[in-house]
Structures are given as C-alpha cells and as structure tokens.
Amino acid sequence: MTVSIAARPYEFKLDPSRAAFVIIDMQRDFVEPGGFGAALGNDVSLLRTAIAPIGAVLSVCRAAEILVIHTREGHRPDLSDLNGAKHRRGRFATRIGDDGPMGRILIRGAEGHEIIPELFPEPGEPVIDKPGKGAFYATDLETILRGRGITQLILAGVTTEVCVHTTLREANDRGFECLVLEDGTASYFPEFHRAALEMACAQDGIFGWVAPSAAVISALQTGEVI
Ligand code: TIU
C-alpha cells in the first residue's frame, strides 16, 4: 500500500510500512542560546521555524505507526570519539567539550545535547547518537533500518546543508529513497537552506524528493491509497 505525496521533482509514493521519519539533531545545542550552534557564531533563532512543521509530521507519523528515529550529534565525555580535525577546526573561544550554560558543549549527557522538549522521543523510538554530521557514519542506524525492512526515509531536522544533507547523501548511496521535509529543515544561512533543497531534487531527483509538511500530512491523513 502506498500513498502519493505531492513533491518535487514529482510525486513520491510512500509506503508507510517501509518508511521511517528521521529527525536529525533537534537538540538544544543547535536551537537554543549557549549551545554549539551559538558557539560557532550563529543566530540560533533561525532554526526554530522547523520545530512546528516537524511536530505536526511527527504526530501524523506516530498515528500512522511509521517508525520514528531521532538522532543527536555529540561526543563521549572523554572526547575519545572526537577526531582532532573536528575538535581543532575554527577560531572560536568555546569548543566541543568546553563548559557552557547548558553543560559541556555537544557532550552526551549534557543538557544542551538533549533533544528539545517539543520533539522529545517517545519510549520505543530509536535515538541514534552520532559523532559526525551524517547519521550513518559510526552508528547502528543502517542495521536498525535494514532490520525493520525500511527502504524509504522522510528526513527532517537541522541544519539543512550540514547534517541533513550529509545524511541524505549517505542514505542515497545506500539505496534508500529519501524525501526531505522542506519546512521541517532549517539553516543558520537561509540561502544555503534554499540551495540545499534545490540540490536535493535537481536533475529530476539526483538525491531524492522535497515536499512541505502539509503535503506529507495531507497524503497520510486523506491521501489516495494506490
Ligand atoms: N554547524 C551546522 O550547521 N551544523 C552542525 O554542526 N551540525 C548539524 O547540522 N546537526
């Protein structure tokens, strides 16, 4: 059974039983002041536009019993999984592992590392802790997806051109069909957000499909069953 989602570059045939909604890095460290995003010099308020659309799709996916997966970017407290290049990069006063107002920056167990309350995982929803930008790198995400027979991913979260796009590319090369949630992603750089979405679906879907939350919700609630 599939439902048809109005998407770019053309309709996406979603099979809810083989799909997962993957919410990437909606952590306090990226969307609240004093976290990793702010330490990199960004205006974190720009990312908050994605929260309501993700929340709306999350409710519909839970009701439709679509697998929901959350990811968190972060590192072990002893920094043993933080490569030196990532640690050293940039000329910032505050780095990964340093103390901040929400605890140590981008460290597992710190307040800032946690997923925001609006999108907090429900029991049973896998949470993938990842040390890199892509959700497949050095994680068990692929094993979990293959084990459940998942072949399609709806991708949302932050930031569009960094962790969402890296995951999109990793998933594409692994044979997953991907749809990026247009208004459920956001960037500190609005022009990068727009370009990243165009890049995803250019060339008749070089990496996959792009659709707004309303199209996904409408397809799942009232969509024609094909
Ligand atoms: N800096 C930036 O745009 N993003 C990240 O560092 N990580 C994610 O995108 N999650």
Decide: residue 79, CB within 10 A, 0-12 exposed, 13-18 middle, 19+ buried: middle
User: What mean pLDDT do residues 158-184 have?
Assistant: 99
Among protein residues, the one whose CA lies closest to atom 7 of ligand 1:
163
Average pLDDT, the chain: 97
Higher pLDDT, 1 or 185: 185
Q: State which of 40, 87, 166 you would mutate to test the pocket of ligand 1, scoring each by most atoms of that ligand within 8 A of its C-beta.
A: 40
Residue 30: predicted pLDDT: 98
Residue 28 reports pLDDT greater than 60: yes
Residue 226: predicted pLDDT: 54
Whole-angstrom Cα Rg for the chain: 17
Q: Is 133 a catalytic residue?
A: no
- pLDDT band for position 58 (50/70/90)? very high
Q: Is 130 a catalytic residue?
A: yes
Residue 61 reports pLDDT greater than 90: yes
Residue 177: predicted pLDDT: 98
Query: In this prediction, what percent of the chain has a pLDDT beyond 90?
Result: 97
Quick one: which atom of ligand 1 is closest to the CA of 187? Answer: 3
Q: pTM of this prediction?
A: 0.98
Q: Is 159 in the pocket of ligand 1 (CB under 6 A)?
A: yes
Residue 224: predicted pLDDT: 62
Higher pLDDT, 187 or 226: 187
CA distance 6 to 80: 44
Residue 225: predicted pLDDT: 58
Quick one: which atom of ligand 1 is closest to the CA of 24? Answer: 10
Q: State which of 30, 167, 170 you would mutate to test the pocket of ligand 1, scoring each by most atoms of that ligand within 8 A of its C-beta.
A: 30
Residue 4 reports pLDDT greater than 60: yes
Residue 190: predicted pLDDT: 98
Quick one: which atom of ligand 1 is closest to the CA of 25? Answer: 10
Residue 154 reports pLDDT greater than 60: yes
Q: Is 178 a catalytic residue?
A: no
Residue 1: predicted pLDDT: 86
Which position among 29, 61, 129, 130 bears the catalytic label? 130
